[in-house]
Amino acid sequence: VLHSLRYLYVTVSEPGPGLPEFMIMGYLDGIPFQRYNSEWGRDEPLTPWMAARAEQEYWDSETEISKRIQHVNVGDLERLRVRYNQSKGLHTLQKNYGCDLLSDGSVRGSNQYGYDGRDFISFELGSGSFMAADSGAQVTTRRWNTDGLSVEYWTNYLGHSCLEEIQKYIKYGQEALERKEPPAVHVSGKEEHGTLILSCHAYGFYPRAIAVNWMKGDEIRDQETHWGGIVPNSDGTFHTWARIEARPEEWEQYRCRVEHPGMPEPRIVAWEPQSGGNLTRVVAVSIISAIKVILLIGFGIWKLQSGRRQKDGYKVAAGKDVRANGSTAGTE
């Protein structure tokens, strides 16, 4: 993917502090660049280049469009609650649409709807029809697939208009968007219940595209790897991680491989256990050994004194075995 443009709509039935009734967030190459919030009532830029290049007329127009979309989505959310015969309470409607410009010049696009966190309706560029995720969604897809407008509109938008928007916004932020910042890579490990968990973190990279893989020897072990999402940072860069479980005695065989456009070649990083961890083990073993020696010496003294007392006819009073009390307190 060379560039991507995505818009996310979220509508909630019970807004509150920090939870607006409706919001729109625009993402260019994974970076939030524009947003609308029903609490503020205006579209606003989220990047310096968007604030510098877009005219006030653009923001006024976007705000009016967002207000109309808000009105429609709030009504749609209430209708869905009634359609699914649900009681009032917190319900959500999500919409996620946009397109990707691929390296071969082709365009990939989609439009997806979700209700209460579940798939509702989807449309893929080139499919020619909306797909329903359940019986409740079929009421809407039947109408959109036969009205002669919806399929044509989204086919044109995802295949053409969305690409024009990408080109416009890329031009606005060309210098920032075409930069390449390589990731900082850190590998860590910890042992839990006899299993070594190795984590590879990549920080502060741009653009978003990156490959993080765990290798055992020279073999990439993707089937055993768990990945985190590629998440934006506040400075416009990204971070991500990959994790794998290993046998502690095999830790030297594992290495993390990171490939990114900002790096001339892939970087391979191995975990290096810190000496502090080894020192802790040595200290622990030493303490345990010392305790054992003390207990053995104590046991020997007790046997010696016991023999002398028996010889002298001396008996310790019941409930006053200070040696037993002291030993228990010392080892807790």
Residue 298 predicted with pLDDT over 70: no
Could you give the 3-state DSSP secondary structure of residue 167? helix
**Can you give the pLDDT at residue 182?**
97
> What is the arithmetic mean of pLDDT over 21-35?
96
Percent of the chain's residues with pLDDT above 70 = 83
Distances (CA, A) of 62 to 43, 68, 121, 302: 6, 10, 25, 88
pLDDT for 152 equals: 97
Q: Is it the case that residue 4 has pLDDT exceeding 60?
A: yes
Task: Check residue 178 and give its pLDDT.
Answer: 87
For residue 182, which phi and psi values (nearest 5 degrees)? -70, 155
C-alpha–C-alpha distance, residues 104 and 5, integer Å: 17
Q: Which residues of 60-84 are buried (b: 16+ CB within 10 A; e: fewer)?
A: eebbeebeebbeebbebbeebbeee
- Contact between residue 244 and residue 224 where contact means Cβ atoms under 8 Å apart: yes
Top pLDDT among 5 and 178 is at 5
The token duo for 48 is 């310096």
With a CB cutoff of 8 Å and minimum separation 6, the contacts of 38 are: 15, 20, 21, 22, 23, 70
> Which of 231, 230, 241 has the alpha carbon at shortest distance from 197?
241
Name every residue whose Cβ is closer than 8 Å to that of residue 35 and which is 6 or more positions away in sequence. Answer: 23, 24, 25, 26, 43, 44, 46
Check pLDDT > 70 for residue 294. Answer: no
Label residue 103 by pLDDT band (50, 70, 90): confident
Angle at 7 between CA 55 and CA 75, to 5 degrees: 105
Q: List residues bridging with 203 in a β-sheet.
A: 184
Q: What is the distance between the alpha carbons of residues 260 and 181, in angstroms, rounded to a whole number?
A: 9
How confident is the model at residue 312, as a pLDDT? 37
Tens digit of each residue's pLDDT (9 = 90 or more) over 141-168:
999 999 999 999 999 999 999 999 999 9
pLDDT reported for residue 323: 23
Q: Answer for the pair 88, 82: CB distance below 8 angstroms, yes or no.
A: no
pLDDT at 236: 86
The dihedral formed by the CA atoms of 188, 191, 194 and 198, expressed in degrees to the nearest 10: -10
pTM here is 0.73
214-241 mean pLDDT: 94
CA dihedral for 48, 50, 54, 57, sign (positive or negative): negative
> Does the structure show a pLDDT above 60 at 177?
yes
> What type of residue sits at position 39?
E
- Residue 198 clears pLDDT 80, i.e. is over it: yes
pLDDT in tens, 229-287: 999 998 889 999 999 999 999 999 999 999 999 999 999 999 998 754 443 443 343 33
| Predicted local confidence at residue 278, as pLDDT | 41
| CA dihedral of residues 38, 42, 46, 49 (deg, nearest 10) | 160
Across the range 114-142, mean pLDDT stands at 96
Specify the pLDDT at position 2.
86
